Amino acid sequence: MCGIIGFTGTLDATNVLTKGLSQLEYRGYDSAGIAFFENESIRTIKTTGKVQCLKEKVEAANVTGATCGIGHTRWATHGGVSDINSHPHTFGNVTLIHNGIIENYKELQEELALQGKTPVSQTDTEIAAMVIDDCFTGDPIEAIKKADARLEGQYGFCVMFKGHPGKIFCIRNGSPLVATHAEAGSVIASDMVALLDYSKDYFVLPEHVIATLTKDEITLVDLEGNSVEPEMLHVDWDVDAAMKGGYEYFMLKEIHDQPDALMNTIRPRVKNGLPTFEADNVPDEVFTHCNRILITACGTAMHAGLVGKNLIERLAKVPVTVDVASEFRYNEPIMDENTLLITISQSGETADTLAAIRLAKEHGAKTLSIVNVKGSTIARESDYVLYTHAGPEIAVASTKAYTVQLSVFYLIAARFAFVTNKLNEEETKTFIANLENAIESLNEILEKEMDFDEVSASLDNATSLFYIGRGLDECLSREGSLKLKEISYIHSEAYAAGELKHGTISLITDDVPVIALATQHNVYSKMISNIREVKARGAKVILITNGEDESIDESICSFQVSIPKVDDMFAPFGTAVIVQYLAYFCAVRRGLNVDQPRNLAKSVTVE
Ligand code: M6R
* Crossing angle (nearest 10°) for helices 299-316 and 400-419: 20
pLDDT at 509 over 90: yes
pLDDT at 239 over 80: no
% pLDDT > 70, the chain? 100
What domains lie within the chain, and their CATH numbers? Answer: 3-235 (3.60.20.10), 242-440 (3.40.50.10490), 445-589 (3.40.50.10490)
pLDDT at 240 over 90: no
Residue nearest to atom 7 of ligand 1 (CA): 299
Kindly indicate the confidence band of residue 27, based on its pLDDT and cuts at 50, 70 and 90. Answer: confident
Closest CA to 269 of 376, 418, 442: 418
C-alpha torsion sign, points 387, 390, 396, 398: negative
pLDDT (mean) for 476-483: 98
DSSP assignment of 411-480 equals HHHHHHHHHTTSS-HHHHHHHHHHHHHHHHTHHHHHHTHHHHHHHHHTTTT-SEEEEEESTHHHHHHHHH
Q: How far is the CA of 136 from the centre of ligand 1 (A)?
A: 39
Atom of ligand 1 nearest to the CA of 602: 14
pLDDT tens figures, 82-134: 989 999 999 999 999 999 999 999 999 999 999 999 999 999 999 999 999 99
Residues annotated as catalytic are 2, 602
Closest CA to 69 of 11, 129, 110, 128: 11
CA distance 191 to 253: 20
Atom of ligand 1 nearest to the CA of 604: 8
Q: How far is the CA of 302 from the centre of ligand 1 (A)?
A: 8
Q: How far is the CA of 301 from the centre of ligand 1 (A)?
A: 6
- pLDDT attached to residue 497: 96
% pLDDT > 90, the chain? 89
Contacts with 87 (C-beta within 8 Å, 6 or more apart), sequence order? 2, 4, 31, 33, 46, 72, 74, 96, 97, 98, 125
Q: How far is the CA of 602 from the centre of ligand 1 (A)?
A: 7
Kindly indicate the confidence band of residue 25, based on its pLDDT and cuts at 50, 70 and 90. Answer: confident
- pLDDT attached to residue 358: 96
pLDDT at 602 over 80: no
What's this model's pTM, rounded to 2 decimal places? Answer: 0.87
- pLDDT attached to residue 601: 78
Q: How far is the CA of 483 from the centre of ligand 1 (A)?
A: 11
Enumerate residues lining ligand 1, CB below 6 A. Answer: 298-301, 345-347, 350, 353, 396-398, 482, 486, 603-604
- Phi, psi (deg, nearest 5) at residue 545: -120, 165
Q: How far is the CA of 477 from the centre of ligand 1 (A)?
A: 16
194-213 burial code (b ≥16 CB/10 A, e <16): bbbbbbbebbbbbeebbbbb
pLDDT tens figures, 390-423: 999 999 999 999 999 999 999 999 999 999 999 9
Atom of ligand 1 nearest to the CA of 346: 3
Task: Name the pairing type of β-strands 201-204 and 232-234.
Answer: antiparallel
Rounded (5°) CA angle 305-466-495: 45
Cis peptide before 165 (omega within 30 of 0): no
- pLDDT attached to residue 75: 83
Atom of ligand 1 nearest to the CA of 600: 14
- pLDDT attached to residue 194: 93
Kindly indicate the confidence band of residue 506, based on its pLDDT and cuts at 50, 70 and 90. Answer: very high
Atom of ligand 1 nearest to the CA of 405: 3
The best mutation among 352, 398, 488 to test binding of ligand 1, ranked by most ligand atoms within 8 Å of the C-beta, falls on 398
pLDDT (mean) for 24-53: 91
pLDDT at 238 over 90: no
Q: How far is the CA of 348 from the centre of ligand 1 (A)?
A: 10
pLDDT (mean) for 474-500: 97
CA distance 34 to 73: 9
Kindly indicate the confidence band of residue 29, based on its pLDDT and cuts at 50, 70 and 90. Answer: confident
pLDDT tens figures, 36-49: 999 889 999 999 99
Residue nearest to atom 6 of ligand 1 (CA): 298
- pLDDT attached to residue 243: 80
Atom of ligand 1 nearest to the CA of 402: 10
- pLDDT attached to residue 189: 97
- pLDDT attached to residue 508: 93
Residue nearest to atom 11 of ligand 1 (CA): 299
Residue nearest to atom 14 of ligand 1 (CA): 397
178-182, strands of its sheet edge to edge: 41-48, 31-38, 68-74, 3-9, 185-189, 178-182, 201-204, 232-234
